[in-house]
Structure 1
Amino acid sequence: MSLKLLLLLLFAAVVISLFSGLFFLIKDQGQSHRTVNSLFFRVSFSVLIVVVLIYGFYTGEISPHMP
């Protein structure tokens, strides 16, 4: 699996988690933990993005100036 594709999927997961958190915030009105769980997943996916980027730069698969 290409690192670019993995980064794209992780970014999509962050966006989906963002909107699901907004939905749960409006629907539950703070009465459940689903909004907090959504925040946890969003932060986790963001950390994974940073880790994959560091790995890609370290191995040379990703460079800041790719053509």
Structure 2
Amino acid sequence: MKTLLVVGFLTLIVYNLGAALFYMLTDRGESKRAVNALTRRIGLSILLIALVGAGIASGVIQPHAVGT
């Protein structure tokens, strides 16, 4: 369940990044859709970091050393 939540967040983050690129190429600076998509991406990234931090603090997620 934890992995699906993280993968879901990462999928939404990449989708918003792609949407911002698409809006930048098609709108030619006439609307704020690209800015809104990038704002959502930043918000989702901060929320994901906060959720992972809360999971580690509560013991739900067990961090481990890389490569061991």
Structure 1, residues 27-53: CA drift from partner, whole Å, max 9, x if none?
001110000100110001001111111
* Residue identity in the other structure for 2:34: T
Aligned partner of 1:47 in structure 2 is: 46
Equivalent residues in 2 for 1:20-35, closer than 5 Å: 20-35=19-34
CA distance in 1, matches of 2:47, 2:37: 15
Aligned residue-pair number: 66
Unaligned runs of 5+ in 2: none
When normalised by structure 1's length, the TM-score is: 0.88
Q: Percent identity between the aligned chains?
A: 32
Relative contact order higher in (CA < 8 Å, ≥ 6 apart): 1
- Partners of 1:3 and 1:56 within 8 A in 2: no
- Which structure 1 residue ranges, 4+ long, deviate > 2 Å from structure 2? none
Task: Give the SS at the match of 1:18.
Answer: helix
- Partners of 1:7 and 1:52 within 8 A in 2: no
Equivalent residues in 2 for 1:1-67, closer than 5 Å: 2-65=1-64
CA distance in 1, matches of 2:62, 2:42: 24
CA distance in 1, matches of 2:16, 2:37: 6
CA distance in 1, matches of 2:60, 2:6: 12
Unaligned runs of 5+ in 1: none
